[in-house]
Amino acid sequence: LVEQLGSGQLLTATCASLVNFPDKSLPAGLRLAPEVAAGYTVSRDGKTYTFTIRKGFRFSTGQPVTAHDFAASINRVLSPALKAPPQNQEPFLTVAGARRVVAGKAKTASGVTVRSGKLVIRLTSAEPNFLSVMSLVCVLPAGLARTAVNPEGVRAPVPSAGPYFVSEHLPGERVVLERNRFYGGIRP
């Protein structure tokens, strides 16, 4: 069913990112807008992004979304244990230390840190499209992101900070989505 529905549609319904494409901006030209981020700053050299996490954003479990959750989710994408296709990791390779994680030489990217509750991402070179890259990060709770590095995926129920969460998944049979009653974003 996931193949029929399309993994992109499933991710759109269940994922929350620092920045995203809100539905009402679609006719206006696909403009990124903060979703879980309350705001962000970019250093003068374009190599350091600092994201402030919006207060009140919660996973479907009721647990608050934090900068640590995003840091763990980024490192999860880079982990060789996940066996993610290279095209999923490639957009993150300008993050300092990302190549070492992909190569199995480090557990976390040195350029992904949390300072004073803010997510700080340091790049090796300025990347003008880096905000688009951050729209690809589907945040998971940090504990789950660190322990659930499994190429088969996370088992249901999957906590989500998006409008819906996967409450049941029977491979080859069905995926059941339920509304995240704690969702605090602008998407329907």
- pTM for the model: 0.88
When pLDDT is cut at 50, 70 and 90, the band that residue 69 belongs to is very high
Q: Which residue has the higher pLDDT, 3 or 164?
A: 164
User: Residue 158 — very low, low, confident or very high, per pLDDT cuts 50/70/90?
Assistant: confident
Taking alpha carbons only, the member of 68, 161, 72, 82 closest to residue 118 is 68
* Full 3-state SS string of the chain: CHHHHCHHHHHHHHCCCCEECCHHHHHHCCCCEECCEEEEEECCCCCEEEEEECCCCECCCCCECCHHHHHHHHHHHHCHHHCCCHHHHHHHCCECCHHHHHCCCCCCCCCEEEECCEEEEEECCCCCCHHHHHCCCCCCCHHHHHHCCCCCCCCCCECCCCCEEEEEEECCCEEEEEECCCCCCCCC
Instruction: Report how far residue 44's alpha carbon sits from residue 157's, in angstroms, rounded to the nearest whole number.
Output: 42
**Which pLDDT does position 3 carry in this prediction?**
42
Name the band, by pLDDT with cuts 50, 70 and 90, for residue 169: confident
Q: How many residues does the chain have?
A: 188
- Chain-wide mean pLDDT for the chain? 86
Using an 8 Å Cβ cutoff, are 18 and 119 in contact?
Answer: yes
Region label for 127, one of left (φ > 0), alpha (ψ between -120 and 50) or beta (otherwise) = beta
Task: Give the pLDDT score at 156.
Answer: 77
Q: Are 1 and 173 in contact (CB under 8 A)?
A: yes
Q: How far apart are CA 185 and CA 150, in angstroms?
A: 28
